[in-house]
C-alpha cells in the first residue's frame, strides 16, 4: 500500500509524483493501474460532478460517499479527502468529520488554511494524530472572501504570509502541503524550505508533485482553468459523436448471430 513515506522518499531523491482528483471506483481503478498512486476526493466535485459554480454546496456526506467509491476501486492508493466548506468550524467538528472520512478509507485529510483560526484547527487535529494536508494559496471555499478565483501571493506581504503559513503548517505536523494558483518562484521557495512533500496546482514546475482535477485533465470540464492541460484532445467527444452517428445510420449494433 502506498504511504506518505513513499512521497517523502520521492522528495528526498528530488523526483516528482503525479496526483489526480477522482470520485468513483471505475476511474480510481483505471488511474491506479496506470500508476497514479495518490488520489484526492476533493470538494471540486461540487463543480465537476454536481454542476454548481463553486465548491460551497459540498457536504461531508458527499465526500464520505465518494471516498467509499474511490477506495473500493483503488484500495491500495494513498487517498486524500477534503473537509468541505463549514465542516470544520471548531475543533470537535473538525475531528469528528476527519474520523468519519478516515473510517471509510481516507488516509490524509486536506483542509484549506487562510488565517490563524484554520491554523489552530490544524494544530488540534495533528495532536490527535490525524494526517493532514494543508491547502494554501487560492482556497476555493473562501472564493467570496478572496473576490474570485484569482492568483494569490503576488504582492510581497501576501507572499510572506503564505510562506509563514507553510512554515507554521510544517511545524504543526502536517504531512503534506498543497499550493494552489500562486507565483512559480514563491512555490519554489516554499518547496525548498519545507521537508514535507509539496504538491502544486497552478503553481509552476518546482513543487514535488502536481495535481489536476481529472475532468480538467481529460478536457471534459466546461471551465478548464488556465493552468490546466487537456491531455485527451477531445477524443471522448469524438467517441460519443461516432456512437450517435453509427446508431442513427444503423451501423451499430453489429449482428453477430
Tell me whether strands 209-212 and 198-201 are parallel, antiparallel or unpaired: parallel
Q: Which residues pair with 209 in a beta bridge?
A: 17, 199
What is the C-alpha radius of gyration for the chain, rounded to an integer number of angstroms? 19
Residue bearing cell 467509491: 69
Q: What DSSP letter does each residue of 73-139 carry, written as one string?
A: H-TTSEEEEE--TTS-SSHHHHHHHHHHHHHTT-SEEEEE--SHHHHHHHHHHHHTT--EEEEEES-
> How far apart (Å, rounded) are the C-alpha atoms in residues 223 and 195?
34
Respond yes or no: is residue 180 known to be catalytic: yes
Burial label for 188, CB within 10 Å (0-12, 13-18, 19+), is middle
Burial 193-226 (b: 16+ CB within 10 A, else e): ebebbbbbbbbbebbbbbbbbbbbbbbebeebbe
Among candidate residues 92, 180, 184, 192, the one labeled active-site is 180
Beta bridge partners of 137: 180
Total residues belonging to the chain: 257
Q: What is the dihedral of CA 191, 197, 199, 205, to 10 degrees?
A: 50
Active site residues: 180
Amino acid at each position: 500500500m502506498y504511504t506518505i513515506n513513499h512521497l517523502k522518499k520521492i522528495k528526498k531523491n528530488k523526483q516528482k509524483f503525479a496526483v489526480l482528483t477522482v470520485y468513483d471506483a471505475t476511474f480510481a481503478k483505471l488511474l491506479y493501474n496506470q500508476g497514479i498512486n495518490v488520489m484526492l476526493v476533493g470538494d471540486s466535485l461540487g463543480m465537476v460532478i454536481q454542476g454548481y459554480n463553486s465548491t460551497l454546496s459540498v457536504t461531508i456526506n458527499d465526500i464520505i460517499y465518494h471516498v467509499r467509491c474511490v477506495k473500493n476501486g483503488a484500495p491500495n492508493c494513498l487517498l486524500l479527502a477534503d473537509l468541505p466548506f463549514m465542516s470544520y468550524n471548531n475543533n470537535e467538528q473538525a475531528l469528528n468529520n476527519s474520523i468519519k472520512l478516515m473510517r471509510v478509507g481516507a488516509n490524509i485529510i486536506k483542509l484549506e488554511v487562510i488565517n490563524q483560526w484554520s491554523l489552530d484547527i490544524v494544530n488540534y487535529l495533528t495532536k490527535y494524530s490525524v494526517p493532514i494536508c494543508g491547502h494554501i494559496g487560492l482556497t476555493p471555499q473562501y472564493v467570496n472572501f478572496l473576490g474570485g478565483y484569482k492568483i494569490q501571493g503576488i504582492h510581497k506581504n501576501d507572499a510572506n504570509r503564505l510562506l509563514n503559513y507553510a512554515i507554521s503548517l510544517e511545524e504543526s505536523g502536517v504531512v503534506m502541503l498543497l499550493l494552489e494558483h500562486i507565483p512559480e518562484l514563491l512555490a519554489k521557495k516554499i518547496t525548498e524550505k519545507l521537508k514535507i512533500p509539496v504538491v502544486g496546482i497552478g503553481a509552476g514546475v518546482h513543487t514535488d508533485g502536481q495535481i489536476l482535477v481529472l475532468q480538467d485533465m481529460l478536457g471534459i470540464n466546461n471551465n478548464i482553468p488556465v493552468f490546466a492541460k487537456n491531455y485527451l484532445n477531445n477524443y471522448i467527444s469524438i467517441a460519443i459523436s461516432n456512437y450517435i452517428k453509427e446508431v442513427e445510420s444503423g451501423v451499430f449494433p453489429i449482428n453477430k448471430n
